[in-house]
Structure 1
Amino acid sequence: MKYLKVIAPAVFFLMMNCAAQNTSKNFDMIAYEAQTRGSLIQITVDDNKVTYKTNQEEGTKEISKEQLEELKKVIDELNLEEIGSLTAPSEKRITDGALHAEFTIKIGDKEYKSITFDAGNPPTELKKLEGLLYSISNIKE
């Protein structure tokens, strides 16, 4: 009986410690906005749905479990504290050669904003996320 009093709390502690290490960044909202004079693309993911809007169309659709898991995986790979200081690979947006694009990711009470970059040519770290959002919303780049 003495051993049970010692072993049970130790096992419980180990289980809780392992569970705490496997936490992922469950996002509350992901917003992507790309715009320039006369053009607009907005994609927002929250809960289990994606809302999209362009100059030609707008709508809302459900996200599958697989797509949601893929989004979570991509967000987990990002260092959210640094997305505001990444370097854009091109500057076409300055001369209206590309849409100005940026991400906003909300997790709990914190909101992370990316730098502004050319739509279709994000920093390498954000490329998967941009492609996945376009794929989920079925918007053509």
Structure 2
Amino acid sequence: MKYLKMMSPLVFLLMMNCAAQNTSKGFDKIAYEAQTRGSLVQITVEGNKLSYKTYQEEETKEISKEQLEELKKIVDELNLKGISDLKAPSEKRITDGALHAEFVIKVGDEEYKSSTFDAGNPPTELKKLEDFLYSLSDLKE
């Protein structure tokens, strides 16, 4: 009986720890930047604030709880450790035919930086994230 009393709290803590590991961490910050000579697009999401900047305009706005949850879901689907190894489907950025684009996603103390790609034509794994950020910012790709 004494053994059972000592083991019950341990089992409870172990179960709570496993449940906590299954919950989504989300992200602390997402930064998207696309640029080439004469063009710039920066989109940053931190907390519930989205800010975007081009050479023509700059704005910060609040995003809704639903939009933030959708963004977290999109990020959770990514293999963040592997985004630096993703291959771009096209190479127009090399000859200034497209903007050089990349993502930096911060989760806790870790920063995950994607490989560079043509803006508007990211690796398939990043397409949903790029499209969603553009839709939130009201910018045209």
For the aligned residue pairs, the C-alpha RMSD in angstroms reads: 1.8
Equivalences for 1:1-141 in 2 at 5 Å? 5=5, 8-9=8-9, 12-13=12-13, 15-141=15-141
Deviations 1:20-47 (A, max 9, x none): 2322132111000000000000000001
Show CA shifts across 1:82-119 (max 9, x none).
10010000000011110000000011111110000000
Give the TM-score normalised by structure 2. 0.91
SS of the residue corresponding to residue 60 of structure 1 reads: strand
* Distance in 1, Cα, partners of 2:2 & 2:109: 45
Q: Which residues of structure 1 form unaligned runs of 5+?
A: none
Identity of aligned residues (%): 79
Q: Secondary structure at the match of 2:33?
A: strand
Which 4+ stretches in 1 moved above 4 angstroms?
1-4
Question: In the aligned structure 1, how far is the partner of 2:106 from the partner of 2:83?
Answer: 13
Measure, in 2, the Cα distance between the counterparts of 1:6 and 1:109: 36
- Contact 1:25/1:75 (8 A) holds in 2: no
Whether contact under 8 Å (1:34, 1:100) holds in the other structure is yes
Q: How many Å separate the matches in 1 of 2:33 and 2:47? A: 18
Q: Which amino acid aligns with 1:132?
A: F
Tell me which amino acid in the other structure corresponds to 2:85: S
Once residues 17 and 10 of structure 1 are traced to their aligned partners in structure 2, the CA distance between those partners, rounded to angstroms, is: 11
Partners of 1:73 and 1:24 in 2: CA distance: 8
The count of aligned residue pairs is 141
